[in-house]
Structure 1
Amino acid sequence: MDRRQLAGFLRSRRERITPAEVGLPAGPRRRTPGLRREEVAQLAFISAEYYTRLEQARGPRPSREVLAGLARALRLSDAERDHLHHLAGAPPGPPAGPSFEVRQSLLDLLNRLPQTAAIVLSATYEVIAWNDLAAALLEDFSALSRRDRSLIRRAFLGPRPEGGCRLYGLSDSDEFARSAARHLRATAARYPDDPGVAALVAELVDGSEEFARLWSSHDVCAKPTLCKTIRHPLVGPVTVDCDVLDITDRDQRLVLYTAAPGSPSDQALRLLSVIGTQRLDVPG
């Protein structure tokens, strides 16, 4: 543990953050740049005395839990987080479980994509970020619990409408379910000690004969479906190109839905971008 370098690094990261960036009032008597030590401690869920000792190069070696809290409080990038661990004498190891935190730059990107519905999926097929057009095209994810944002749960355990499919009227819903099962098999191998992954697999095996059959096959390869049709309740069928970009450092995927320019589906997406998530079939 390099106490002097750790102290200087913590101080420099603290001084670059404005109170507004973390939702704190600036106050009229703030004489130093950035956050106060007690504010960082509060955000990291540690005592102000302990944090002060770290900045004065006389604190004990922080635990990994403390380092995770400091990285979150100081809004560290991935490279800065790794540097913090090395300075504290606790080199970062492989993640214990899938990451559900989405980089701010990626969140900003979602809202800058014109005429593109976009979501971010975790390694366990949970929707962890989305833009307004995705909410209008698929579902208002903000109105759902975290559990209900799991696309793989919906695909295998969700209610199946009469004559329909469980997942947004997708034309390739069966292939999506098979692909998700194969991806989850690979995810379980990457995170063998994560209780959340194990619980999800057990729930799906117990609740779906189809998933249990797919799981027993041990298949891990899946071919992506590049074009699919979503049967929307307001604008009808919307045919979109589906592109998936891997976010390798977080083990996440960015899914982009776009329509051919000038096509009826393109017009439907433009209409949905105006309608949003409001229901036109419900009286006001």
Structure 2
Amino acid sequence: MSDQRRAELATFLRSRRERLTPEEVGLPRGRRRRTPGLRREEVSQLAAIGTTWYTWLEQGRDIQVSAEVLDAIARTLRLDQSEREHLFGLAGSIDPSPAAGYLPITAAIREHLDQLTPLPACVQSGRYDILAYNEPFSRLMCDLDAIPPEDRNVIWLGFTNDEWKSRMISVEQVQRLMAAKFRASMTEHLGDPSWKALLSRLQAASPEFCEYWDRHDVLRAGSQMKTYRHPQYGLLQLTSTSLWLEPGPARPRMVTFTPDNEETREKLKLLAGSPLVTV
């Protein structure tokens, strides 16, 4: 980075830090707080990076910073998408968030998802980010509208979201398979900052993921029979089928869930017309 860009980055980080209060991030205010907003050490603690390293960034020092560190800082400072783009642009780095890595979902794809009702369906990236979904899919798993876009990821939700996990039968087995699929899929993306950032988040947030990840099991994605437990309609037996939307190693795919029996088919019709139920 040039001196001018480093200075702009330092000023931008300082301004975003100073607008946050300790209460907003779950920290006590304390008695002697002269600094407006958060302290540097508080940001570094929440982002799980070194205080000296973060201080150097705010001082405009000539240091190299990874996309994973920038992602952690952006989450800690609660930057919106425009602010994230500005941060990564100043740092000359690639934003690993799913919103930055994929083209917008077209109106035609969204209409196709809606036309599949009452079948649950979604569009996933190669990294298992949920890029779009219809109402039955959200009703089947959890209220995705209430989840930040950066957290709408099948692997992340399967290890960290209690409501999502409550819908799965044999949670431990499903999580083990998830970790194996993620490792197999990551083979083609070992240097991709978005994959590395998601891996780091999972390892920091879930001991269960770390356990299964360390087994080095691999499993390729494909059509599967799945059973879900819905709080209102009980067990639903479904088969997931993936249709790839475009060529490429990280190509998005449409995942559709079809009923395995008439009982599940009738339940899906009720599910599609019912209000959202959370646990």
With the length of structure 2 as denominator, give the TM-score of the two structures: 0.54
Q: Which residue of 2 is the match for residue 255 of structure 1?
A: 255
Q: Which residue of 1 is the match for residue 179 of structure 2?
A: 181
CA distance in 2, matches of 1:192, 1:276: 41
Structure 1 residues 151 and 100: alpha-carbon distance in aligned structure 2, compared to 1, 3 A threshold = farther
Structure 1 residues 137 and 206: alpha-carbon distance in aligned structure 2, compared to 1, 3 A threshold = closer
Q: Does 1:191 align with 2:189?
A: yes
Q: 1:179-235, CA deviations, whole angstroms, 9 ceiling, x for partnerless residues?
A: 332332244333334323212111222333332233334333246562222111122
CA distance in 1, matches of 2:229, 2:197: 31
Counterpart among 119, 122, 126 of residue 116 in structure 1: 119
CA distance in 2, matches of 1:248, 1:186: 20
Structure 1 residues 103 and 219: alpha-carbon distance in aligned structure 2, compared to 1, 3 A threshold = farther
Structure 1 residues 223 and 254: alpha-carbon distance in aligned structure 2, compared to 1, 3 A threshold = closer
Q: What is the CA-CA distance between 1:175 and the residue it aligns to?
A: 3.7
Q: Is the 8 A contact 2:117 2:272 kept in 1?
A: no
Q: Is the 8 A contact 2:159 2:165 kept in 1?
A: no
CA distance in 2, matches of 1:213, 1:231: 25
Q: Give the secondary structure class of the aligned counterpart of 1:256.
A: strand
Q: Which residue of 2 is the match for residue 35 of structure 1?
A: none
Q: 1:36-89, CA deviations, whole angstroms, 9 ceiling, x for partnerless residues?
A: xxxxxxxxxxxxxxxxxxxxxxxxxxxxxxxxxxxxxxxxxxxxxxxxxxxxxx
Q: Give the secondary structure class of the aligned counterpart of 1:129.
A: strand
Alignment of 1:52-131 (within 5 A): 99=102, 101-131=104-134
Q: Give the secondary structure class of the aligned counterpart of 1:234.
A: coil
Q: Which residue of 2 is the match for residue 219 of structure 1?
A: 217
CA distance in 2, matches of 1:154, 1:247: 23
Structure 1 residues 175 and 115: alpha-carbon distance in aligned structure 2, compared to 1, 3 A threshold = same
Q: Is the 8 A contact 1:110 1:131 kept in 2?
A: yes
| Unaligned runs of at least 5 residues, structure 2 | 1-97
| Unaligned runs of at least 5 residues, structure 1 | 1-95
Give the length in aligned residue pairs: 179
With the length of structure 1 as denominator, give the TM-score of the two structures: 0.53
Q: What is the CA-CA distance between 1:131 and the residue it aligns to?
A: 0.7
CA distance in 2, matches of 1:252, 1:176: 22
Q: Which residue of 2 is the match for residue 167 of structure 1?
A: 165
Q: Does 1:245 align with 2:248?
A: no
Q: Residue type of the partner of 1:177?
A: Q
Structure 1 residues 179 and 105: alpha-carbon distance in aligned structure 2, compared to 1, 3 A threshold = farther
Q: 1:120-152, CA deviations, whole angstroms, 9 ceiling, x for partnerless residues?
A: 112222211111211222222122112332221
Larger radius of gyration: 1
CA distance in 1, matches of 2:194, 2:203: 14
Q: Which consecutive aligned stretches of 4+ in structure 1 deviate over 4 angstroms post-superposition?
A: none
Structure 1 residues 260 and 155: alpha-carbon distance in aligned structure 2, compared to 1, 3 A threshold = closer
Structure 1 residues 278 and 157: alpha-carbon distance in aligned structure 2, compared to 1, 3 A threshold = closer
Higher helix share: 2
Q: Residue type of the partner of 2:108?
A: S
Alignment of 1:197-212 (within 5 A): 197-212=195-210
